[in-house]
Amino acid sequence: LSDRFRIAIDGPAGAGKSTVARRVAERLGFLYVDTGAMYRALTLKVLEWGAAWEDRSQLARIARESRVELVPAPETPRGNQVFLDGREVTEAVRSPQVGRYVSRLAAVAAVRDVLVEQQRALAARGGVVMDGRDVGSVILPDAELKIFLTATPEERVRRRWAELRAQGFDVTWDDVARDVSERDRLDQARSASPLRRMPDAVEVETTGRDVDAVVDEILRLVERRRASCSTGS
Ligand code: CDP
Ligand code: CDP
């Protein structure tokens, strides 16, 4: 029973989802799946092809005809390696340019359908921590534990800015603030699987807390949920 446990972690950009999800997966010996990386990989392809962002049927066709693979790689910085049509794009998908466009692609329902099917397949065996925007609402609506991770907008911008600078991108604070708020706005306003906290998700606020404290809190929630599952309540 416990090996099939599935943890869904959703929240806005820079809330700490991937960092925390990876560590939780590591502690439990679970698989970590970064669903955002799949949207980022397709966005990279659309940018490279110079496809038209208004043409939703073309975007959907690109999604259907591309091969996006997520390979668990716990020893690497992001925990997953990303391949697009056989080419490794793990680093490339983290660029600020991809970040600026990804929410446009993610708003296309037919694109989401393609990726959601693959994401469900990745979680089919359980023992998984998956992070994104619609994990608890659409991909795994019956996940054993759902977390909604948050932090104040300033804190999220600060984290994303520091991360991009550390990766060598010459971005200003204002660039990052604009991108993060625009992406949050698009992710929450879209009609296809918008980002929202599910009523059965536990909200975990991370502002001013270090990663270990947040990970420990989630592990305690897992223990509690497992105990209540095994007593059948
Ligand atoms: O790491 P960060 O929070 O910047 O974003 P991400 O998880 O890499 O996701 C990038 C974008 O992909 C999000 O802003 C969403 O537009 C989209 N996304 C989504 O729509 N659904 C998901 N399950 C994951 C990501
Ligand atoms: O995936 P998401 O966009 O939600 O966030 P992330 O890519 O995990 O980036 C969060 C950044 O904030 C990382 O550099 C973390 O080290 C840092 N951080 C955190 O994730 N959680 C905290 N409680 C404190 C800092």
Instruction: Report the greatest alpha carbon distance in the chain.
Output: 55
15 lines ligand 2 (CB under 6 A): yes
Rounded to two decimals, the ipTM of the complex is: 0.97
The percent of residues above 70 in pLDDT, for the chain, comes to 98
132 in a labelled binding site: no
- Give 3-25 pLDDT, tens digit per residue: 789 999 999 999 999 999 999 99
- Do residues 37 and 70 touch, judged by C-beta distance below 8 A? yes
205 lines ligand 2 (CB under 6 A): no
Compute the C-alpha angle 39/42/47, nearest 5°: 120
Continuous H helices in the chain: 17-28, 35-49, 56-65, 96-106, 109-123, 153-166, 173-189, 211-230
**pLDDT at residue 2, rounded to an integer:** 53
In the beta sheet, which residues pair with residue 110? none
Q: What is the mean pLDDT of the chain?
A: 95
136 in a labelled binding site: no
**Residue 60 phi, psi dihedral angles, 5° rounding:** -65, -40
Ramachandran quadrant class, 186 (left: phi over 0; alpha: psi -120 to 50; beta: rest): alpha
**pLDDT at residue 172, rounded to an integer:** 96
d(CA 230, CA 65): 43
Average pLDDT over residues 115-136: 96
d(CA 1, CA 198): 24
**pLDDT at residue 105, rounded to an integer:** 97
pTM flag (> 0.90): yes
Q: How far is the CA of 62 from the centre of ligand 2 (A)?
A: 30
102 lines ligand 1 (CB under 6 A): yes
**pLDDT at residue 1, rounded to an integer:** 46
17 in a labelled binding site: yes
Compute the C-alpha angle 216/220/226, nearest 5°: 140
- Give 126-142 pLDDT, tens digit per residue: 999 999 999 999 999 99
Enumerate helices (H) and strands (E) in the chain, giving the number of each: 8, 8
Tell how far CA 233 is from the center of its chain.
Answer: 30
- Do residues 147 and 24 touch, judged by C-beta distance below 8 A? no
8 half-sphere exposure, CB direction, 13 A CA radius: 26
**What would the two tokens of residue 161 be?**
């800015």
**Parallel/antiparallel/unpaired status of strands 6-10 and 145-150:** parallel
